[in-house]
């Protein structure tokens, strides 16, 4: 093993390397390094090629936890669905009753609640699967992210183009209308952050390796070192 590792990781050129892979000789950072059964450092792609079980990275763990959190939040749509089905709108206040009197608003709210619950279940299941490095969970998370992006955009358009004008015409208080207008600008921005990050991270080569995908030989980051240059 080399006494002093090079400055940068082969797979992440901006990260400092901590060692060399004992199989291929490439310098690796901490997140790209695992130990083989003998305790020698190996890079993740070589671990995959040699049948060494992948260790879940901190990034995947963070995504799994966030999936579980957002999934639990999504299940609160069930509460809204129950309110829509069994509670008279007037019990929720004047503004709410006026909103529910808008043609199509109740149906829109019910569809949104059902989608929220469905997405919550999907996110929870994928979060648990990510913790176990299941590839179906990685693919399911990407599907969740894609649906979330489309849903956020559609909701923003409908809110600004239909719901807010309809609320004003129905006599909903200006405070409630202003709150909806603010949410029409802020919610899409905030709602797009996590799905975009999820898609970006789960398609990265070194993340995919953890789920059993071989990395192409042209991986960026540096120049591979020949195996015969490895020092034991």
pLDDT, one tens digit per residue, over 135-187 is 999 999 999 999 999 999 999 999 999 999 999 999 999 999 999 989 888 88
Confidence of residue 227 (pLDDT cuts 50, 70, 90): very low
Number of structural domains, the chain? 2
Closest to 28 in 3D by CA, of 51, 40, 44, 39: 44
Query: Are 193 and 153 contained in the same domain?
Result: yes
Does a structural domain hold residue 145? yes
**Residue 34 DSSP SS3:** strand
Domain-located, residue 180: yes
Q: Is 132 helix (H, G, I), strand (E, B) or coil?
A: coil
Measured between alpha carbons, how far is 157 from 151 in angstroms, rounded to an integer?
Answer: 10
Where on the phi/psi map is residue 104: left (φ > 0), alpha (ψ -120 to 50), or beta? left
- Which pTM was predicted? 0.85
The H or E element that residue 42 is part of is strand 41-43
Predicted pLDDT at 216: 66
- pLDDT score of 84 more than 50: yes
Read off φ and ψ for residue 221, nearest 5 degrees. Answer: 125, -25
Task: Yes or no: say if 202 and 49 are a contact pair by the CB < 8 Å rule.
Answer: no
Q: Phi/psi of residue 185, each to 5°?
A: -100, -35
Q: In which domain, by residue range, is 193 found?
A: 58-210
Do 185 and 204 belong together in one domain?
yes
What is the Cα–Cα distance from 149 to 193, expressed in whole angstroms?
A: 9
The answer to the question of residue 68 being in a domain is yes
CA distance 148 to 231: 49
Residues 32 and 69 in one domain: no
């Amino acid at each position: 093993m080399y006494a002093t590792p090079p400055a940068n990781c082969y797979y992440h050129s901006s990260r400092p390397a901590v060692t060399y892979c004992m199989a291929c000789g490439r310098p690796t950072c901490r997140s790209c390094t695992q130990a083989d059964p003998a305790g020698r450092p190996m890079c993740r792609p070589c671990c995959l090629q040699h049948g060494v079980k992948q260790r879940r990275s901190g990034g995947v763990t963070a995504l799994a936890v966030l999936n579980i959190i957002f999934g639990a939040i999504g299940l609160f749509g069930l509460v809204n669905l129950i309110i829509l089905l069994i509670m008279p709108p007037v019990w929720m206040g004047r503004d709410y009753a006026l909103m529910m009197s808008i043609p199509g608003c109740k149906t829109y709210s019910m569809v949104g609640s059902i989608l929220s619950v469905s997405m919550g279940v999907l996110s929870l299941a994928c979060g648990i699967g990510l913790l176990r490095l299941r590839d179906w969970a990685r693919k399911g998370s990407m599907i969740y992210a894609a649906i979330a992006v489309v849903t956020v955009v559609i909701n923003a358009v409908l809110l600004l183009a239909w719901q807010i004008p309809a609320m004003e015409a129905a006599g909903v208080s200006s405070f409630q209308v202003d709150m909806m207008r603010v949410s029409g600008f802020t919610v899409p921005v905030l709602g797009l952050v996590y799905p975009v990050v999820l898609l970006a991270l789960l398609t990265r080569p070194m993340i995919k390796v953890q789920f059993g995908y071989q990395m192409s030989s042209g991986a960026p980051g540096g120049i591979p070192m020949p195996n015969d240059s490895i020092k034991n």
